[in-house]
Structure 1
């Protein structure tokens, strides 16, 4: 376990209790947002569920909250999927300090893949009220950026080589809303992906912010 703030120390102990109660299929992760986003995980129990370790990054959901494009409300009982196709039932709870600022997160990921295989007899446990949310579990922050690029390209509906200037501005706007520019050196990768210079990237980013101020978000 990395050095952890006093506010989050209790939750690292709570994580041990939760995983002891629910077994090997239950992962509990403690994120400290005072750390760089590429290494926010300061404690993790049963990290084999998502293949992550202490010192690994947060997910795209946390980036959106840090960016301010998501409300920061706790998410309970949602369904997501790991890179290797395992189905998880997840809960993400955000820890606030006395001033109401989010300083970290406690995330529970329960692997229900085997239960889903027995859906007919366990349907009430595995399917009731679950809403799919796209969340990316990665061990490298560059993989998270790759995922964000792929998601935004899917929204635009065409590869970079066929994108117009307006498409690229819209893609940059979406990346910004998802918190991509909070990732170190993300600009270089986005420039390479779109085939544009840093100067053009900054211009497009300013244009996207201007259009968002005038017309509001298109999402």
Structure 2
């Protein structure tokens, strides 16, 4: 008899827990490894070793985790990408999705490396060698890296995403036209925000609108993104 999905997933997470600590021990204090169980987005961190983003067991998924969740079983590994934490730390990360035997995504193994710390060491060695910051063959990290919220509180992650979308638009909620409002809700939905329990109510409060209005715009945004029916002669009506 095949194992029940939850039992199988629990076994995979248990098997990976020592791997988390092994990877972090191998790469030292600039490395953090986090194991996520996406069945519980608000408390997805089930194991962590190292301290680059300040994650703790029982903490929430990050913006990146929400995006994986939004893609569901179509999610793919994201390797060697750079982001900037809100404290300014440049982080190089890889997010590897976890699947059960049926191919369903249920978690992720994430490796975060503090590139800022590595850069400081590189620059110091360059200065000692008289070679300048080009010693390692690379320049400084780009200034316009996307800022990612790594929080143990899911509310702070949702708030950060809402604020990020609002700063890209021209004004407060009353100043936005219909298309801009739909774009805001569609963008948040694409980032996986509304997969989090209570997120609609939280977004409504953040924007200063009613819960009913938030659900209305979310439904409209999803309808606008839905593929149109195939009306070609060979298609289905």
Shorter-chain TM-score category? 0.7 to 0.9
Question: How far, CA to CA, are the matches of 1:5 and 1:138 in structure 2?
Answer: 24
Question: How far, CA to CA, are the matches of 2:117 and 2:106 in structure 1?
Answer: 34
The residue number in structure 2 matching 1:123 is 137
Q: Tell me the secondary structure at the aligned position of residue 148 of structure 2.
A: coil
What is the TM-score normalised by the length of structure 1?
Answer: 0.84
Question: How far, CA to CA, are the matches of 1:63 and 1:8 in structure 2?
Answer: 19
What is the Cα deviation at residue 54 of structure 1? Answer: 0.1
Contact 1:78 1:132 in 2 (8 A): no
Contact 2:85 2:147 in 1 (8 A): no
Alignment deviations for residues 136-176 of structure 1 (CA, whole Å, 9 cap, x no partner): 21121111011110222133333324212332222111111
Contact 2:60 2:154 in 1 (8 A): yes
Q: What stretches of structure 1 of length at least 5 have no aligned partner?
A: none
What is the Cα deviation at residue 84 of structure 1? Answer: 1.2
Contact 2:24 2:32 in 1 (8 A): yes
Question: How far, CA to CA, are the matches of 1:26 and 1:53 in structure 2?
Answer: 14
Contact 1:92 1:105 in 2 (8 A): yes
What is the TM-score normalised by the length of structure 2?
Answer: 0.78
Contact 1:115 1:126 in 2 (8 A): no
Q: What stretches of structure 2 of length at least 5 have no aligned partner?
A: 1-8, 124-132, 229-237
The residue number in structure 1 matching 2:5 is none
Aligned length: 207
Contact 1:115 1:122 in 2 (8 A): no
Contact 1:59 1:138 in 2 (8 A): yes
What is the Cα deviation at residue 134 of structure 1? Answer: 4.7
The residue number in structure 1 matching 2:22 is 17
The runs of at least 4 consecutive aligned structure 1 residues that moved more than 6 Å come to none
The residue number in structure 1 matching 2:52 is 49
Contact 2:162 2:188 in 1 (8 A): yes
What is the Cα deviation at residue 93 of structure 1? Answer: 0.5
The residue number in structure 2 matching 1:171 is 184
What is the Cα deviation at residue 195 of structure 1? Answer: 2.6
Contact 1:161 1:194 in 2 (8 A): no
What is the Cα deviation at residue 81 of structure 1? Answer: 1.8
Question: How far, CA to CA, are the matches of 1:52 and 1:183 in structure 2?
Answer: 18
Alignment deviations for residues 39-96 of structure 1 (CA, whole Å, 9 cap, x no partner): 00000001x2111100001111221222228941111111112221111111110111
Question: How far, CA to CA, are the matches of 1:139 and 1:77 in structure 2?
Answer: 23
1:95-134 matches, cutoff 5 A = 95-117=98-120, 118=123, 119-124=133-138, 132=145, 134=147
